[in-house]
């Protein structure tokens, strides 16, 4: 009987102690802590294409021009990309060949390739995709004999659209690489 009373007293203290404590709920997870998600259309990409997932992006480098360089606008047309793709389309390769020819002839010039996406998808996803687009163009130029040091790339994701309508025609214009030619002084 003595054991029963001691046991009942112990259980009573535990129950009383638990009842007086406030329930603690964990703080909501920040966006950085939530599980990674892929782009909705990434699941439907062609076989063999690399799936892009949202991952923290490396710090984007400043695009300030060196004091020895001057920007030349409108030298080359932008190249366009298919939705959720970063491979160079056959119809866009002629523009890249023209850029390569130009850089081989003008050895004091450089080009900055700006990667862009349409507004669909998260900022993180689009920064990664735009980075892959700019690097694909750079790799293509290097494969044509352009020294790697003549070409830089930067990703802007969906942050600098040239068209702001919400239509496929407009989105197609924003899925692009833009070329900024830099001329040595």
In degrees and rounded to multiples of 5, residue 120 shows phi and psi of -75, 145
Is 113 in contact with 78 (CB distance < 8 Å)? Answer: no
CA 12 to chain centroid: 58
The answer to whether domain 65-184 has CATH 3.40.50.1970 is: no
SS3 17: helix
First to last CA, the chain: 99
Question: Residue 28 has what pLDDT?
Answer: 45
What does the DSSP 8-state code read for residue 90?
G
Domain ranges of the chain: 65-184
Pairing of strands 151-157, 109-116: parallel
Per-residue confidence in pLDDT tens, the chain, 185 aa = 555 455 455 555 444 454 444 444 444 443 333 333 444 443 333 334 455 544 444 444 444 545 556 777 678 999 999 999 999 999 999 999 999 999 999 999 999 999 999 999 999 999 999 999 999 999 999 999 999 999 999 999 999 999 999 999 999 999 999 999 998 75
Q: Concatenated DSSP letters for 19-85?
A: HHSPP--PPPPPTTTSPP-B-TTGGGSPTTSPPPB--PPPPPPP-PPPTTEEEE-SSSPPEE--TT-
* Residues near 57 by beta carbon (within 8 Å), at least 6 away in sequence: 124, 127, 128, 131, 155
CA 11 to chain centroid: 57
């Amino acid at each position: 009987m003595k054991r029963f009373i001691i046991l009942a007293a112990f259980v009573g203290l535990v129950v009383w102690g638990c009842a007086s404590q406030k329930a603690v709920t964990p703080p909501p997870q920040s966006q950085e802590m939530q599980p990674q998600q892929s782009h909705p259309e990434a699941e439907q990409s062609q076989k063999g294409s690399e799936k892009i997932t949202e991952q923290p992006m490396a710090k984007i480098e400043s695009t300030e021009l060196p004091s020895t360089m001057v920007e030349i606008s409108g030298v080359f047309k932008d190249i366009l990309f298919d939705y959720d793709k970063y491979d160079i389309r056959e119809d866009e390769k002629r523009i890249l060949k023209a850029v390569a020819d130009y850089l081989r002839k003008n050895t004091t010039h450089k080009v900055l390739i700006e990667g862009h996406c349409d507004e669909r998808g998260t900022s993180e996803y689009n920064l990664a995709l735009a980075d892959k687009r700019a690097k694909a163009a750079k790799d293509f130029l290097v494969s044509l004999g352009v020294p790697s040091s003549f070409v830089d790339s930067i990703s802007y994701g969906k942050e600098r659209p040239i068209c702001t309508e919400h239509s496929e025609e407009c989105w197609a214009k924003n899925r692009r690489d833009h070329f900024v030619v830099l001329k040595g002084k």
